[in-house]
Amino acid sequence: MKYDILGVMVDNATMDEAVRDISRYFGSKEAHMVVTPNAEILLMCENDRELLQAISKASFVSADGVGVLKAAKILKTPLKEKVAGCDLGFNLLKEAAKGGHGVFLFGAKPGVAEAAAEKLCEKIPGLIISGTRDGYFKPGDDDEIVRQINESGADILWVCLGAPKQEKWMAENKDKLQVSVMLGLGGSLDVYAGNVKRAPKIMIKCKAEWLYRLIKEPWRFSRMIKIPRVVKLAKAELKRRQNNA
């Protein structure tokens, strides 16, 4: 089931349900988009029509962040749990390895995708990395990138360009790619390459990963303060819906 969270249709699913549903697309002849919006991306959609339209093309939209969960709860359509993109991607890679589906890693700085591929293969037995490419390219390079991905024979594509670039890129090239699943996963490659450390498991379990990241990367404060804005918008949207009921 999908819920309208400030104009973005978000899947109400647990991590296990998300992995189950998305892995069903493996091997499909159609490219299925998977996006993982947080509060910042919800706010981007408020003024970026192209981004909102790109996300609307996604087969699966997971709630990646406490801001999305807070907004959903205010709107009286509570979501089951946070489905973080980094964790979702890793779990899907394990499923891909079981089925022998090749994966292409696209994004981040030069050398990061290769480092991530090496570490991921150490952690996930049987994982097939069909190819890698960094995220530095010009607008006119799209056809060459699509050709490289298609020729790799990959069935699954990670697009780690950051929002809104990755969502728009996937939507624009969706019909040209010969993959079954595309995942927009932001900075996940840096995490798996070991360049960025995630919060301790206890903090993640207590939903305090945002605090850890803020301490480690103070520049994220400008992003964090957008959560209250999302809450404010959700309250206004609830009032509007109640008035129109």
Q: Are 32 and 196 in contact (CB under 8 A)?
A: no
Distance CA 101, CA 95 (A): 9
Q: Which two tokens stand for residue 175?
A: 């019909």
pLDDT, greater one: 195 or 127:
127
Strand, helix or coil for residue 169:
helix
The rounded Cα 183 to chain-centroid distance in angstroms is 6
Whether the pLDDT of residue 214 is over 80: the answer is no
pLDDT in tens, 24-67: 999 999 999 999 999 999 999 999 999 999 999 999 999 998 89
Distance CA 193, CA 244 (A): 49
Nearest residue to 184 (alpha-carbon basis) of 35, 7, 31: 35
Whether the pLDDT of residue 156 is over 70: the answer is yes
pLDDT confidence of residue 204 = 56
Q: Which two tokens stand for residue 224?
A: 């964090």
Whether the pLDDT of residue 4 is over 60: the answer is yes
Global pTM reads: 0.90
